[in-house]
Chains A and B, each alone.
Chain A
Amino acid sequence: MARYLLTRAWQSALTLLLSTIVVFVGVRALPGDPALALAGEDRSPEALDAIRRHYGLDQPLPVQFAQYVERVAQGDFGVSIRTGTPVSSMLTTALPVTVELSVLAIVIASVLGIGAGVLAAVRRGRPAEWFANALALIGLSVPHFWLGLLAILYLSVATGLFPASGFVPLLEDPVDNLHHIVLPAVILGTGLAAIIMRQTRSAMLDSLSSDYVRTAKAKGLRPRAVVTRHALRNSLIVVVTVVGLQLGGLISGAVVTEQIFGLPGFGKMTIDAVFQRDYPVIQAVVLLTAAAYIVINFFVDLLYSVIDPRIRVTGDPA
């Protein structure tokens, strides 16, 4: 077990370093000169040189990279070329919004998705399955932004049940915070729930027709124990994989939802930075997105080994 963890941790660290290099080089390879973008009206060579010197853009790439890694290791992501604010402080306001939204959405999605998936598998061929399948189809095919707009129209504007936009930090006012974030989280969660439901259902159908489920029934177990302890436990590998991938995607992929609900999150920060060619910010958001994926993957691997003892031995998912 310890060896498995060490291997995975080492692999994660290596992946993180590689993504740092890719991000650094990738941003440099983007067309467009940031100095030119910053210079504004005064485009004289002297002014451009001064800007390049100020931001270290005149140094050779390897030197720039080394300086970059050193600073990042200290939590310093540089200063936004556009606004002059430190990227780290931009992150401290944007990240909590997105993390909270993502976690809440994924919790909602998991509860709905796993529940409906199990139900659809257990009640195969009965109305409950058709109902769950129909809901999943709707969840998959209805775009979030449209659902979000509808929600704002009917639940915020018309009835005033929820605020239409804005955000209150969790620590400032937890109740008001929840009030603001519940609607976007539900909207985001329903689409994800549909995918989790489909995957859970098919994994459960496999488990339910397995020999060990037959054994469990032959032992005289109650249907609930057969489904949860035996079938679901064996289906969790699939479910955890899907949920992990979705959570990683949410960190950077909640852009549309954030935009619609006016949440000052990570997605909005990313879009703005890309449009303004704000190198330090782009580097930071891409690196953090990669890091989020790597960390989530590490925990998913960890969960695999908790769920399935065979993985602890071989080091690979069976």
Chain B
Amino acid sequence: MTTAAASTAAIVLEMRDLSVSFPTETGTVSAVDGVSLDLAAGEIVGMVGESGCGKSVTGMSIAGLLPGSARVSGSVRLNGTELVGARESALRRVRGREIAYIFQEPMTSLNPVLTVGRQIGEVLQIHERMSRRAARVRAIDLLTLVGIPSAAHRVDAYPHQLSGGMRQRVMIAMAVACGPKVLVADEPTTALDVTVQAGILQVLRDLRDRLGTSILIITHDLGVIADIADRVVVMYAGRVVERAPITDLFAHPYHRYTAGLLSASPKPGRHASTTRLAEIPGLVPVLSTQPDACTFADRCPAADARCRDSAPPLEVARGGPDHLAACWHPCATQTQEANR
């Protein structure tokens, strides 16, 4: 557990050219198109984008949780072991033990008819072969770990008897029960009050520090990203459009879409009464094909013929080797404008 800080360079999860498409009545819809991403041990990576940009699908596809109709290609390696196309039984051993999930709505994500202790214990019973009694004792420890007071009492509670924040802590306790290497948190704070949000993010940070878990946090909330993430991946219409360390991204967004996202978030000192929040015109396109063009071109103020002819690669932008953007016309000089 203490080696987490020392081995930050070690890559735990390696995603290469991951693509996901779904067959529909009107043709194949591409949800994720060529996403590559590394997750180092103990690292928190934020994945941000609008609804429908493919971030949740990316998260679900890591442990093969997508419905059977999904067509997944590319590669996801956990400590070198390929997960895409792996057998269901092999994936089951990974799920909950090495890769765990936290979902958005803790009320519906927990089973209403089982006690929280039972639901946490279940993971330990399958993966650690614990007895039901031992699992219950460990569940109490886990509830304490995620900051639930009087855990010995709460372990026998049903989800409806707990508050929203408590429920999400239960979800986290369940997720970290087996000390997973990777935690995928899909909008973990979206359904919660702002004050409760801060508490949940603190729990996640503590877990990273104590257990060395790598966390992929999926959200549309840049505030959450700014609060917790070490690095950020910006997704748009199924593609990664920008990838950067947290401070670089907020200081110098290169992609026009990222700049748009940032200027669409309220900032202290820039009041709604003086300046209207900038919004990005148009909607996220539904990709029935993978167009050979920049997917953002139709909404981009700087788009030209080149943007509509060829898709820009994700390249090292001018900021440094860790800062990548997929844009023909990065807004290097306009960052001040975008940030103002």
Number of interface residues of B (CB under 8 A): 28
B92 touches A220 (CB 8 A): yes
B-contact bits for A227-269, CB 8 A (1 contact / 0 none)? 0011001100000000000000000000000000000000000
Q: If the complex has contacts A220-B127, A309-B160, are A214 and B174 also in contact, measured as CB distance less than 8 A?
A: no
A220 touches B93 (CB 8 A): yes
In angstroms, Cα B103 to Cα A222, docked, is 20
In angstroms, Cα B158 to Cα A238, docked, is 20
Residue in B closest to A218 when the chains form the complex, CB atoms: B101
A310 touches B111 (CB 8 A): no
In angstroms, Cα B121 to Cα A225, docked, is 14
Minimal beta-carbon separation of B3 from chain A (angstroms): 25
Query: B95: CB under 8 A from chain A?
Result: yes
In angstroms, Cα B5 to Cα A45, docked, is 108
Which listed residue, A217, A221, A309, A310, touches B122 by the CB 8 Å rule? Answer: A221
Query: A212: CB under 8 A from chain B?
Result: yes
A215 touches B112 (CB 8 A): no
Minimal beta-carbon separation of A178 from chain B (angstroms): 36
B111 touches A220 (CB 8 A): no
A219 touches B158 (CB 8 A): no
In angstroms, Cα B101 to Cα A220, docked, is 11
Minimal beta-carbon separation of B173 from chain A (angstroms): 12
B160 touches A215 (CB 8 A): no
In angstroms, Cα B95 to Cα A56, docked, is 76
Minimal beta-carbon separation of A212 from chain B (angstroms): 4
Minimal beta-carbon separation of B114 from chain A (angstroms): 8
Q: If the complex has contacts A217-B65, A310-B158, are A230 and B111 also in contact, measured as CB distance less than 8 A?
A: yes
In angstroms, Cα B158 to Cα A307, docked, is 12
**CB under 8 Å from chain A, chain B span 86-128:** 92-97, 100-101, 103, 105, 108-114, 122-123, 126-127
- B110: chain A residues at CB < 8 Å are 212, 215
In angstroms, Cα B161 to Cα A309, docked, is 10
In angstroms, Cα B65 to Cα A84, docked, is 71
- B93: chain A residues at CB < 8 Å are 220
Which listed residue, A210, A217, A229, touches B95 by the CB 8 Å rule? Answer: A217
In angstroms, Cα B110 to Cα A307, docked, is 16
In angstroms, Cα B94 to Cα A229, docked, is 21
- A212: chain B residues at CB < 8 Å are 108-112
In angstroms, Cα B111 to Cα A225, docked, is 13
Which listed residue, B94, B100, B103, touches A214 by the CB 8 Å rule? Answer: B103
Which listed residue, B101, B108, B123, B126, touches A210 by the CB 8 Å rule? Answer: B108
A310 touches B112 (CB 8 A): yes
- B161: chain A residues at CB < 8 Å are 313
Minimal beta-carbon separation of A233 from chain B (angstroms): 5
Query: A173: CB under 8 A from chain B?
Result: no
- A221: chain B residues at CB < 8 Å are 92, 96, 122, 126
In angstroms, Cα B108 to Cα A188, docked, is 39
Chosen A-B contacts, 23 in total, with CB atoms closer than 8 Å, are A210-B108, A212-B108, A212-B109, A212-B111, A215-B101, A215-B109, A215-B111, A217-B65, A217-B95, A218-B63, A218-B96, A218-B100, A219-B95, A219-B126, A219-B174, A220-B93, A220-B95, A220-B97, A220-B127, A221-B92, A229-B122, A234-B111, A310-B112
18 more CB-based (< 8 A) A-B contacts, given A215-B171, A221-B126, A313-B161: A210-B108, A211-B103, A211-B105, A212-B109, A214-B109, A215-B109, A215-B111, A218-B65, A218-B100, A219-B126, A220-B92, A221-B122, A222-B92, A229-B114, A233-B114, A309-B112, A310-B112, A310-B158
- Residues on A close to B: CB < 8 A? 210-212, 214-222, 225, 229-230, 233-234, 307-310, 313
